[in-house]
Chain A
Amino acid sequence: MAGQWTSASGRAPGEGAPRAPAPPFTREHEDFRQVTRSFVERELRPHAQEWEDARWFPNEVFRLLAAHGYLGLKYPEEYGGQGGDYLHDAVFAEELARCGSGGLAAGIGAHTGIATPPIWKFGTEEQKRRFLAPAIRGEKIAALGITEPGAGSDVAGIRTHARRVDGGFVVNGSKTFITNGVRADFVVTAVRTTPEGGHRGLSFLVIEKGMEGFSVSRKLDKLGWHASDTAELAFDDVLVPEENLLGEENRGFYLIMANFQWERLLMALGAVGSMQATLERTLEFARERRAFGRPIGRHQAIRHKLAEMALKLETGRALTYNALRLFAEGHDAVREVTMAKLKTQRDAFEVADAALQIHGGAGYMKEYEIERALRDLRLGPIGGGTDEIMREILGRQLGL
């Protein structure tokens, strides 16, 4: 049965049915969720295995997403966006977790969630035309380059350096762990523009593929996120013109901080979507798989595991939706966002681990996709600010 308004087929009654909206989402968001879920399930999910094996998803995926408006949900129509808002992007992030490949979701998320927002928020009109509009059309792929071999959690330690010259900057240094780094047409790159260290003196330059001296030094191999390309980038006397300076010179640190809340919310939403999907399939398995004369879900040890999984999902959802609501309403939500990020990333990994245990030997096999989820989700407590850094932020908020 086709029909994009129908809920996903092959589910037991009650599972995957469109649900009553939970704030901050409205009916309209749930309608959009239904369509998005069906899009993800039919257009992306069937390819997940192939793209994971290939260690790459094709660039055409960006064109496909663009054709359906997904790359510009929150962006204004004048740049080709859909004219929606953060909540629509939030629906997409949550549903994308069902695509079966953390790497695919990461590549899409890096483009829409972290690399293009700074251009929208801090770019000049001309920069929006040059970079944002083609990114929304899926013609240019974007990456965000902050992390360096010598600076991750400690952003102030960035050493990639941009020296002022006539008409622009000359950049030297390197970046690492950059999602979409191999395929990116442009990298929104954090560089040091003053000789002294620390928070001051950071700026952002849009560095484009093909600029002389800019190269991908390595495609990195990793535990999970196999379909995504993670790169080490090298800058060797790259001449970047003045018009590629994003935002104010030496004010780059604020630009980094500005998008952290949204990036962390997206990660929390992805974890919630993933926990939901994992719980659904594990419940199904626990009902069907029999041992010692009954479905394994009827053994108390398994039933309690599932109860814990459901609790983690619900707690994570409540924290995340609340943080999202505050953020979308324009409040300072650092505390709530930090808590949501911290709570959901470790929990999503643990939910996948419990799911693997419940699946027994089958869980360890590739075909059940649980082992992939487990590998993919291990990044959560590291990326976008580690769990330790999240606790630091919370601890400082307590005045310590």
Chain B
Amino acid sequence: MKICVLVKEVPDAAVEKRMDPSTKRLDRSGEKNLNPFDTHAIEAAMQIKEGGAVDVDEIVAVTMGPESAVRALHKAVSLGADRSVHLTDPALAGSDVCATGYALAQVLKAESPDLVLLGQQSDDGECYTVGAVVADHLQMPSLTQVIKIDVQDGKLRCERQAEYGYDTVEVELPAVISVGDAINEPRYPSLKAIMGAKKKPLDTKSAADVGIDPSRVGEQGSRTAVLAINPPPAKEPGEIIEDEDTDETVQKIVSWLEERKLLA
């Protein structure tokens, strides 16, 4: 069995995020990191491999992104992936979710994995959608927000985090599964793994290498356009009730709550 894990390079969580008003895209200068949710996807792949219920031949980390995204691949490999593929091409810049999903699916077609794992959301775009788009292009079943995976008779039994409780779903392979952070606790990569990551095979692919139709990617090929970006309205200052006469204060609070129908 072959598992591909989609990983994305995102601005580090501790870096203040800023939109670039000219491009209406996220300002991606500053320190970057591997998308935290994707570390859980790699760990899920590792646990399937180490669980022994199926033979996993290899785990391949796949990313689409600029040159710097190589570091996200190195991190993915330090966590256990055997090799990685980097899709990078100026033509891809500015792709929206559909374009990103299409481009990644083209890479995956060339790899023909039995299972595609990915994080349920990225730390920056937070669209929660790439998994579904990829699955559609690959004509594979898709499960999202999965927090438990068991291998049974060549199929996967998964628990999905639903709004109230959990769904238990069985899915046949090949499939695309996005995972939540409750699924596992990613391991700490050892120094040896970090140093060894650069030595593992890494394939760099252009859009043409994987047969991407240029009219379907990039800013031009995206069918959504961000028109404007507005900060949320500033919060109105709260009302401070000074406690001079406690009975009166309580009365004021109760009527404030009643006006807003907050008391049943």
- Nearest B residue to A9 via CB reads B13
Residues of A within 8 A of B12 (CB): 6-7, 17-18
Residues of A within 8 A of B192 (CB): 69, 77, 82-84
Q: In the complex, are the beta carbons of A2 and B191 less than 8 A apart?
A: no
A20 to B15, CA, bound (A): 13
Q: Contacting B33 at CB < 8 Å: which of A6, A13, A27?
A: A6
Residues of B within 8 A of A28 (CB): 194-195, 198
Q: In the complex, are the beta carbons of A83 and B195 less than 8 A apart?
A: yes
A320 to B200, CA, bound (A): 34
A20 to B75, CA, bound (A): 16
A35 to B79, CA, bound (A): 11
- Nearest A residue to B74 via CB reads A31
- Nearest B residue to A16 via CB reads B14
A20 to B32, CA, bound (A): 11
A338 to chain B, nearest CB (A): 29
B221 at the interface (CB under 8 A from A): no
- Nearest B residue to A3 via CB reads B36
B66 at the interface (CB under 8 A from A): no
A223 at the interface (CB under 8 A from B): no
B188 at the interface (CB under 8 A from A): yes
> Are A4 and B188 CB-contacts (below 8 A) given A17-B14, A28-B194?
yes
A209 to chain B, nearest CB (A): 29
Q: In the complex, are the beta carbons of A31 and B36 less than 8 A apart?
A: no
Q: Which of A28-55 contact B (CB under 8 A)?
A: 28, 31-32, 35, 38-39
Q: In the complex, are the beta carbons of B189 and A4 less than 8 A apart?
A: yes
B102 at the interface (CB under 8 A from A): no
A191 to B75, CA, bound (A): 48
A287 at the interface (CB under 8 A from B): no
Q: In the complex, are the beta carbons of A4 and B190 less than 8 A apart?
A: no
Q: In the complex, are the beta carbons of A2 and B194 less than 8 A apart?
A: no
A14 at the interface (CB under 8 A from B): yes
Q: Which of A57-74 contact B (CB under 8 A)?
A: 68-69, 73
Residues of B within 8 A of A84 (CB): 191-192, 195
> Mask for B24-68, Cβ within 8 A of A = 1, else 0?
000000110110110110000000000000000000000000000
Residues of B within 8 A of A19 (CB): 31
B242 at the interface (CB under 8 A from A): no
A5 at the interface (CB under 8 A from B): yes
Q: Contacting A4 at CB < 8 Å: which of B13, B16, B187, B195?
A: B187
B185 at the interface (CB under 8 A from A): yes
A205 to B12, CA, bound (A): 50
B94 at the interface (CB under 8 A from A): no
B136 at the interface (CB under 8 A from A): no
Q: In the complex, are the beta carbons of B39 and A5 less than 8 A apart?
A: yes
A68 to B78, CA, bound (A): 13
Q: In the complex, are the beta carbons of A6 and B189 less than 8 A apart?
A: no
A306 to B212, CA, bound (A): 55
Beyond contacts A13-B15, A84-B195: 12 other A-B pairs, Cβ-Cβ < 8 A, are A2-B36, A2-B185, A4-B187, A7-B14, A11-B14, A15-B14, A31-B194, A39-B188, A68-B190, A73-B191, A83-B195, A88-B191
A residues apposed to B, CB below 8 Å: 1-9, 11, 13-20, 27-28, 31-32, 35, 38-39, 68-69, 73, 77, 82-84, 88
22 CB contacts below 8 A, A to B, read: A2-B186, A3-B39, A4-B39, A5-B36, A5-B186, A5-B189, A7-B12, A9-B13, A14-B14, A14-B15, A17-B15, A20-B31, A28-B198, A31-B71, A31-B74, A31-B194, A35-B194, A39-B188, A69-B191, A73-B191, A84-B191, A88-B191
B residues apposed to A, CB below 8 Å: 12-16, 30-31, 33-34, 36-37, 39-40, 71, 74-75, 78-79, 181, 184-192, 194-195, 198
